[in-house]
Amino acid sequence: MSFCDDREDIYSMSLTTLSSLLRKYNIDPKSIGRLEVGTETLLDKSKSVKSVLMQLFEPSGNTNIEGVDTVNACYGGTNAVFNSINWVESSAWDGRDAIVVCGDIALYAKGAARPTGGAGCVAMLIGPDAPIVFEPGLRGSYISHAYDFYKPDLTSEYPVVDGHFSIKCYTQAVDACYKAYNAREQTLKAKNGTNGVEHDDSKTPLDRFDHVVFHSPTCKLVSKSYARMLYNDYLANPSHPAFADVAPELRDIDYEKSLSDKNVEKTFVGLAKKRFNERVQPTTEVATMCGNMYTASVYGGLVSLLSNVKFDPSQPKRIAFFSYGSGLASSMFSAKIVGDISTIAQKLDLHNRLNSRRTVPPQTYDDMCLLREHAHLKKNFKPAGNIETIPSGTYYLTEVDDMFRRKYEIKA
């Protein structure tokens, strides 16, 4: 699991990640016309993280950049992606590119949930002629009122969590988004045709995706959710040959019961196992190694996929995404890898970066949580974390003054 002490916060993480994107891809700051941030790690009830990031653009004279922050638990990054795609497709687009930054520090009070935390940030450049292309108009969403995970106590970084209910909400969202996505796809096919692609009756609808990337609170939930999509295929067509060995009584089980039924879960996890290992397992490395990164989680899954699978530009691959944020907001959407992504994988350098991390005992993590508790909402404050362990190029907090203004330096 990744974590940080009181030397890093959502401002510093976002500055580090965005500056890295600009540097690695030699992006001209003047070429950016939209910058949007997805996060639920709030340092201010008014000032946006995006406004802090503008200090990376102001030296070039570019202050004409649309976008602010989007907040809804782990879903904000996806909403920022949607907004940026919509902007590029709209009459408001001025020909420049967009950048989405999504990141969080996931913290839990002492107890069983604490090991499910994590920290991370992802920055993405969005514009025309990209090697990864989002499929236009193909989205299905499910948004509902639920108190499954929320942060009503602004004096604490820790959430209020109803764990079992949150898993139920997540599963319901998978079902609803998959159904909405499928319905939307059928509507578009009826309107636009299939572009010469013939339907293969030997495959289930899930098989049309070469890979599926999930928001990953835990990797076990990802495995169950992929199986749940296959269960939805079964309900839609129980007579499909792929389901010949499925007990027929599973077809008629009550929906509410199906959400937690162990027989349903076991049957379809088993049935999906080979598909999961090939199509989903390669997307889980960041979640496995870094923990839950909240808004960055699903895009950390994309990072994992690009770093673990070799893609042939001459053979486009289709990727489905499921994004979930408690409270709740969720969407399923898709993209195709149509170009050479080898440069992206090279610049990500994921495995070397993961292997370069320091390993510390659990007590160090508990100590860090205490440091962050002490630092939360403080002014006239100087952090106590050790800057010697911070990698070069990382932004870190040096002080919070008497007006809560935060100051940062870059590790040489």
pLDDT tens sequence across 41-77 = 999 999 999 999 999 999 999 999 999 999 999 999 9
Share of the chain above pLDDT 70, in %: 99
- CA dihedral over 211, 214, 217, 220, signed as positive or negative: negative
| Local structure of residue 280 (DSSP, 8 states) | T
378 carries a ligand binding annotation: no
pLDDT tens sequence across 327-366 = 999 999 999 999 999 999 999 999 999 999 999 999 999 9
24 carries a ligand binding annotation: no
Residue 287 has pLDDT above 80, yes or no: yes
Residue 9, amino acid: D
Between CA 37 and CA 70 the distance in angstroms is: 6
Could you give the angle at which helices 219-236 and 262-279 cross, rounded to 10 degrees? 110
Residue 197 has pLDDT above 70, yes or no: no
Give the chain's mean pLDDT.
97
Mean pLDDT of 256-285: 97
Between CA 211 and CA 334 the distance in angstroms is: 10
pLDDT tens sequence across 143-154 = 999 999 999 999
Between CA 179 and CA 397 the distance in angstroms is: 45
Between CA 64 and CA 130 the distance in angstroms is: 23
- The pairing of beta strand 149-150 with beta strand 160-161: antiparallel
Residue 192: what pLDDT? Answer: 86
202 carries a ligand binding annotation: no
| Local structure of residue 109 (DSSP, 8 states) | -
Say what the pTM is: 0.96
Q: Are residues 177 and 141 in contact, defined by beta-carbon separation less than 8 angstroms? A: yes
Residue 388 has pLDDT above 80, yes or no: yes
Beta bridge partners of 291: 118
Per the rule left: phi > 0, alpha: psi between -120 and 50, beta: everything else, 385 is beta
Q: Could you give the domains of the chain?
A: 10-410 (3.40.47.10)
Residue 200: what pLDDT? Answer: 75
Active-site residues: which are they?
Answer: 40, 74, 215
Per the rule left: phi > 0, alpha: psi between -120 and 50, beta: everything else, 63 is alpha
Mean pLDDT of 300-324: 98
